[in-house]
Every structure is written in structure tokens, then in C-alpha cells.
């Protein structure tokens, strides 16, 4: 008997027994296989050459006839399965593991065929394991290919665009097929959303995670939107699935929300992922922390020493502590130094620009707070409490910001640091030194560096590159902070002041009143947004109910 027939007879036995695990073990696609797969290949080449004949199809149908009477718990070949087997045999006949372009094409065809066969509502489920292994092989190949632009160009060049002329990337195409399998699992009717999964539903999150892994490895996370939407609409509760699948899914959902600037949702996902991941999985916990800590920084919370001392956080203290210290001090120079210090690590994880731009408001908050502490005179000269409204002069803030901008541009102190100045220095001599610099700069403690101020990149300057902060810049920054809820008060434009509100309520402490706790005010801002959305829904202005304030779309938690 020919090897092909023998092979198909073996397959038939597993199909009749609905043995998905054996099917996977037999339907191998990678090159490290027992030698008889290569004998099978040789036989296919000689007996069924690629010449347009339908002999192979006929052989498959002869070896895998549809069963008439199928007992309970038994299976039968179905047309989609036979189509898959034909593609599978063609795959082995034609495959050349040294030709990645052809390998990619045939493996894609094979997975599409498998997805079609899996869609069969009666017997499709026996192909779950095989679908998983094909999907993994294709993902792996695609991830490898994305690091080889010259091959990608060849593959994409050979592909026809769709009707709109738009070409999908190979990552997108592979993700599409895996998502098709995911959808098959999602729509399986063997169990509902809120009961333990049965049938193909058991694999919903396995395929979701596989798709997410592929998309994130190739920087295409935005393509996950549709999947999260489908899960929100009809996905089974995540809590019904094994812990490793839950943790993996929540990690990627957190990354997704982080990438799209929703740090509260990102935090909720990472928190749940971290807390469900036992300490023995240190690498996984570390990977979660890598993004969980930045999510919290952006929400106004710093990692505690307790957290930074955990084994999975090794080395994180050096990265995050200087950043936190700079935010705390409102020190822009230290802030840019702290980020520069860990630039490569942060950049490789997509964190550098996010922290640079999104943490700046918190540095401004601390900076304005510091200038207020330095300039506000809450007491009358006789020591009694001033009745004046607590306020920060915008001009003072401009002066302080200009000073910082000069530091960023490399300006140097005109004279030794004030504290180091011995008291007996001749003031006339000091005056002479001061007068020796150009008039334009003589009002400052700083002088331009030899060779002139450093040219700053847009992101390196306080406002934009070498732009000197002016009244309007500072006023708009304050307005932004007030709108974001991290400053409490209003801008009195005529007076050129930021006026603190609620000092009396805060026990007469204008600092506490004007600069409320950063984390709490950011959370409060989320609540306000939620209440606005709820009000819009209740008044009929918006068609969509906002859900709960801590809902994360795509994370199916409770009965809707």
C-alpha cells in the first residue's frame, strides 16, 4: 500500500474517533519531522505531480468517505476536512524549507484551509489542536520574516491588492486568518458566555492570545481593536478560563490600552494580571511590571520601595527612581537626565516618548508648586495670617521657567552658587563680574555657555526646542493643568495670577488646596468624565451607555 494511502487511513481512524490530539501529532508542518514525512513528500511528487489533475483530490475522497451512520461521540470526514487534507498533501509535495517566500504562501493557504474546516459546527472542534499548531508555525514564520525587509518586499510585491488597491501586510494577513479561527471559537454555540466553555469555545482566549502575540511582536497592536470589540459584544467571561490564559490576555489588553493612552485601563489590566501571576513566574511578572509601573507613573503614583525590591523588579530602581525623584522635585533638568540615563531600555519598550511627553504635566505641577512655595507670603510681616487670596504670579513662573530653560540650553552660573559665597566678598567686585556679561543676560544668575546656547530638539526644550517660555506659554500650561484637575483654582488674567481655590476648606493650607494629591485628582478626573458620559446617556444625547467607570472594553467580567 502506498504511503499516502497509509497516511490517510491513519488520519481517518483519528477522525472517526474525534481524536484531535493525534490529528495534530500527525499533521506536522515544520521541517523537523520523522524521516517518513520526506518519503511521503517524494511519493507525492512522483505519483501526484502538480499538473492540474484532480487525482489527489479523488484519492483523498476515496480514503476519507463521509460516514452515513455516526454513533454518538464518533466523527466523520466532511468536505471541508477533505479539502484541508488535499491542501496538506500538496503542502508536503511542494514545500521547500529553504524558500521562505514559498513556505509563507503555502503555510498561509494551509491555515486558511484549516480555518475553513474548523468552521464546521458538528466536527470542526477536532481540528482545534491542529489549528493551534498551524497558527503557531505561521506566526513564528511571520515574526521571523518581519525582521527581513528584503524578503517582505518580495512577498508583498507578488501580492495582488484587494479591490480598493490596498495591500495588507503579511502580519495583517496572518492575523486575519488566526482571527477567523478565533471567531469560529467565539461563535460556537456549545456553551453560553457565562458557563464553563465547551466545544470550540474552550480555545477563544488561546487564539486571542496568539493573535495578540503576533500583533504586538510586529508593532501592529491597533489591529486588535476588532477582536476586543467582538469579545465585549459576545465573548465568554475571562474568569472561566485557566489562569495562564487570563494573565496573558490581561497583559496584552493592558499593553493595548497603554499604547492608546488609557493608563487607568492599562493599570487595571496589569494589576489583575500581576496579582494572578504567582511569584514563581518571575519573568512574566517582570514583563507585566515593565508596563504596570509606567502606567502608574502616568496616573500620578510612584512604585514603592517594597515593589522595587521584589526579585522581578531587579534593576528597575535605577530606571524609575530618578524619574520619580525628578517629577517630585519639579526639576526638568533632572527629568531629562533621568530619561536620558535609561533611554535605550525605555525606547526599546516603547516607553521613552510616552514618559517624556505624558509625565511632563506632572513635572509642571511640581514645578509650579515649588515656585508657589518659594514666592507665596501667607503671613503678614507681623506674623499674622494674611487675608490675601492665595495666588501664584504667572510672571514669577515665567522667570523660573526661563531659568530652567537656560539650564537646559547649557547656561552656566555667573558666580559661584549663592550658598557657597563667602560673606566678605567685595560687592563691588561682584558687580564688576556681573556687568561684564552682555546687558541682555545681566538680569539672570546664568550666562550663556562658551560657544553659545545648545540647540535643543523640540522635545528637549521646556516649551519647544529653544523657545523661551513667555507669559502666554505659561498661562496655557497652567490652564491645561487646571483642566486636567491637578491644579485647583483659576487664572485671573487681569492680575496675571493663578488664584488658588478652596484654601479655607483645606484647613487654610493653600498648597494643599491648589495642588491636590496628583493620583487622586487624576482618578477624580476619570470619574468626572464617566459622570459626563452617564449624564449624556441619561439625557438621550448619547446612544451608548458608558458601562462602569472601571470597565475595560474587551475584558469580559460579569453578566452584561
Partner 1 sequence: MASSAATKDEKAPAAADQKPEIVTDQKPAAALEEDDEFEDFPVDGTLPTLYTTRPEGDASPQHPTPIPQQSAALLTSDDNLDWAAEDTEAATESQGTQHLWEESWDDDDTSDDFSTQLREELKKVEASKKR
> Which positions from 419 through 478 interact with partner 1, judged by CB under 8 A?
419, 442-446
Q: Which of 139, 114, 112, 142 is nearest to 129 (CA)?
A: 114
Backbone angle region of 271, left / alpha / beta, with phi > 0 → left and psi within -120 to 50 → alpha:
alpha
130, 211, 221, 405: residue in contact with partner 1 (rule CB under 8 A): 130
CB of 460 to partner 1, least distance (A): 18
Name which of 303 and 554 has its Cβ closer to partner 1: 303
- Residues 263 and 240: their CA atoms lie apart, in Å, by 26
The site that binds partner 1 (CB under 8 A) totals a number of residues, namely 103
Q: Which of 272, 280, 281 is nearest to 247 (CA)?
A: 272
Single out the segment in contact with partner 1 by CB under 8 A; choices: 379-387, 416-424, 463-471, 542-550.
Answer: 416-424
463, 511, 534, 549: residue in contact with partner 1 (rule CB under 8 A): 511
Q: Scanning residues 335 to 364, which ones bind partner 1 (CB under 8 A)?
A: 348-349
Task: Give yes or no for residue 10 binding partner 1 (CB under 8 A).
Answer: yes
Q: Which residue has the cell 508583498?
A: 156
CB of 21 to partner 1, least distance (A): 5
Q: What angle in degrees, to the nearest 10, is found between the helix axes of 360-375 and 332-341?
A: 150
Task: Give yes or no for residue 282 binding partner 1 (CB under 8 A).
Answer: no
Q: Which of 201, 80, 86, 216 is nearest to 139 (CA)?
A: 216
CB of 539 to partner 1, least distance (A): 34
Name which of 434 and 542 has its Cβ closer to partner 1: 434
Question: Exposed/middle/buried for 52, CB within 10 Å: 0-12, 13-18, 19+?
Answer: exposed
Per-residue cell: 143: 515574526
400, 462, 491, 497: residue in contact with partner 1 (rule CB under 8 A): 400
Q: Which residue has the cell 466532511?
A: 78
Name which of 21 and 545 has its Cβ closer to partner 1: 21
- Residues 432 and 428: their CA atoms lie apart, in Å, by 6
Name which of 515 and 555 has its Cβ closer to partner 1: 515
Helix or strand (DSSP H, E) at 34? none
Question: Exposed/middle/buried for 171, CB within 10 Å: 0-12, 13-18, 19+?
Answer: buried
Name which of 352 and 515 has its Cβ closer to partner 1: 515
CB of 252 to partner 1, least distance (A): 7
Name which of 140 and 341 has its Cβ closer to partner 1: 140
- Residues 1 and 358: their CA atoms lie apart, in Å, by 69
Q: Which residue has the cell 504670579?
A: 393
345: helix, coil or strand? helix
CB of 403 to partner 1, least distance (A): 5
Task: Give yes or no for residue 24 binding partner 1 (CB under 8 A).
Answer: yes
Binding mask 196-215 for partner 1 (x = CB under 8 A): ------xx--x---x--x--
Q: 81-105 burial, b if ≥16 CB within 10 A, otherwise e?
A: bbbbbbbbbbbbbbbeeeebeebbe
Q: Scanning residues 475 to 494, which ones bind partner 1 (CB under 8 A)?
A: none
Query: For the chain, how many residues are written?
Result: 560
CB of 132 to partner 1, least distance (A): 4
Name which of 11 and 556 has its Cβ closer to partner 1: 11
Q: Which of 367, 299, 362 is nearest to 329 (CA)?
A: 367
Q: Which residue has the cell 480555545?
A: 203
106, 108, 230, 331: residue in contact with partner 1 (rule CB under 8 A): 331
Name which of 86 and 255 has its Cβ closer to partner 1: 255
321, 403, 526, 537: residue in contact with partner 1 (rule CB under 8 A): 403
CA dihedral 253, 256, 257, 258 (to 10 degrees): 120
CB of 71 to partner 1, least distance (A): 22
CB of 530 to partner 1, least distance (A): 20
65, 144, 508, 560: residue in contact with partner 1 (rule CB under 8 A): 144
18, 399, 459, 466: residue in contact with partner 1 (rule CB under 8 A): 399
Q: Which of 257, 249, 213, 255 is nearest to 231 (CA)?
A: 249
51, 306, 426, 427: residue in contact with partner 1 (rule CB under 8 A): 306
Single out the segment in contact with partner 1 by CB under 8 A; choices: 14-22, 169-177, 489-497, 544-552.
Answer: 14-22
102, 187, 244, 282: residue in contact with partner 1 (rule CB under 8 A): 244
Binding mask 81-120 for partner 1 (x = CB under 8 A): ----------------xx-x--x-----------------
Given a contact cutoff of 8 angstroms between Cβ atoms, the answer to whether 217 and 142 are in contact is no
Name which of 91 and 251 has its Cβ closer to partner 1: 251
Q: Scanning residues 27 to 86, which ones bind partner 1 (CB under 8 A)?
A: 28, 30-34, 36
Q: What is the DSSP string of 45-75?
A: HHHS-SSS--HHHHHHHHHSPPPSS--TT--
Amino acid at each position: 500500500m502506498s504511503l499516502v494511502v497509509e497516511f490517510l487511513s491513519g488520519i481517518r481512524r483519528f477522525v472517526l474517533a474525534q481524536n484531535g490530539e493525534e490529528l495534530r501529532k500527525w499533521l506536522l508542518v515544520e521541517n523537523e519531522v520523522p524521516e517518513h514525512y520526506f518519503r511521503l513528500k517524494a511519493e507525492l511528487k512522483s505519483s501526484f505531480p502538480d499538473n492540474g489533475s484532480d487525482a489527489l483530490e479523488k484519492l483523498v475522497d476515496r480514503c476519507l468517505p463521509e460516514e452515513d451512520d455516526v454513533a454518538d461521540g464518533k466523527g466523520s470526514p466532511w468536505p471541508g476536512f477533505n479539502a484541508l487534507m488535499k491542501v496538506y498533501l500538496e503542502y508536503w509535495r511542494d514545500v521547500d524549507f529553504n524558500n521562505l517566500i514559498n513556505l509563507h504562501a503555502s503555510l498561509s493557504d494551509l491555515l486558511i484551509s484549516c480555518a475553513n474546516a474548523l468552521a464546521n459546527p458538528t466536527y470542526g472542534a477536532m481540528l482545534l489542536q491542529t489549528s493551534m499548531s498551524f497558527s503557531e508555525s505561521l506566526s513564528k514564520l511571520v515574526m521571523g520574516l518581519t525582521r527581513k525587509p528584503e524578503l517582505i518586499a518580495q512577498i508583498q510585491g507578488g501580492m495582488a491588492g484587494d479591490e480598493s488597491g490596498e495591500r495588507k501586510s503579511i502580519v495583517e494577513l496572518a492575523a486575519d486568518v488566526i482571527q477567523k479561527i478565533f471567531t469560529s471559537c467565539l461563535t460556537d454555540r456549545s456553551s453560553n458566555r457565562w458557563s464553563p466553555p465547551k466545544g470550540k469555545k474552550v480555545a477563544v482566549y488561546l487564539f486571542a492570545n496568539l493573535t495578540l502575540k503576533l500583533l504586538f511582536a510586529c508593532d501592529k497592536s491597533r489591529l486588535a481593536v476588532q477582536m476586543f470589540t467582538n469579545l465585549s459584544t459576545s465573548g465568554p467571561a475571562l474568569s472561566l478560563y485557566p489562569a495562564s490564559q487570563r494573565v496573558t490576555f490581561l497583559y496584552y489588553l493592558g499593553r493595548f490600552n497603554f499604547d492608546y493612552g488609557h493608563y487607568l485601563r492599562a493599570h487595571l489590566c496589569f494589576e489583575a494580571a500581576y496579582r494572578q501571576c504567582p511569584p514563581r513566574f518571575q519573568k512574566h511578572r517582570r514583563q507585566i511590571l515593565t508596563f504596570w509601573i509606567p502606567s502608574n507613573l502616568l496616573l500620578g503614583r510612584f512604585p514603592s520601595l517594597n515593589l522595587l525590591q521584589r526579585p522581578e523588579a531587579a534593576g528597575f530602581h535605577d530606571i524609575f527612581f530618578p524619574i520619580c525623584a525628578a517629577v517630585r522635585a519639579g526639576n526638568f533638568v533632572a527629568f531629562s537626565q533621568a530619561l536620558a540615563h535609561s533611554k535605550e531600555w525605555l525606547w526599546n519598550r516603547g516607553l521613552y516618548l510616552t514618559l517624556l511627553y505624558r509625565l511632563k504635566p506632572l513635572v509642571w505641577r511640581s514645578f509650579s508648586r515649588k515656585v508657589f512655595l518659594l514666592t507665596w507670603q501667607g503671613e503678614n510681616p507681623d506674623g499674622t495670617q494674611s487675608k490675601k487670596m492665595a495666588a501664584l504670579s504667572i510672571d514669577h513662573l515665567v522667570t523660573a521657567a526661563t531659568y530652567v530653560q537656560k539650564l537646559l540650553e547649557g547656561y552656566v552660573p555667573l558666580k559661584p552658587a549663592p550658598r557657597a559665597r563667602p560673606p566678605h566678598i567685595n560687592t563691588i567686585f561682584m558687580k564688576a563680574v556681573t556687568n561684564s556679561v552682555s546687558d541682555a543676560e545681566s538680569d539672570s544668575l546664568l550666562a550663556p555657555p562658551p560657544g553659545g546656547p545648545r540647540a535643543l530638539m523640540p522635545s528637549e526644550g521646556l516649551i519647544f526646542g529653544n523657545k523661551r517660555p513667555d507669559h502666554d506659554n505659561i498661562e496655557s500650561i497652567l490652564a491645561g493643568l487646571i483642566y486636567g484637575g491637578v491644579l485647583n483654582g483659576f487664572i485671573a488674567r487681569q492680575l496675571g495670577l493663578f488664584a488658588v481655590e478652596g484654601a479655607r476648606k483645606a484647613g487654610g493650607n493653600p498648597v494643599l488646596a491648589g495642588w491636590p494629591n496628583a493620583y487622586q485628582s487624576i482618578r477624580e478626573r476619570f470619574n468626572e468624565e464617566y459622570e459626563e458620559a452617564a449624564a449624556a446617556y441619561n439625557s438621550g444625547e448619547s446612544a451608548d451607555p458608558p458601562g462602569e467607570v472601571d470597565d475595560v472594553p474587551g475584558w469580559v467580567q460579569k453578566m452584561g
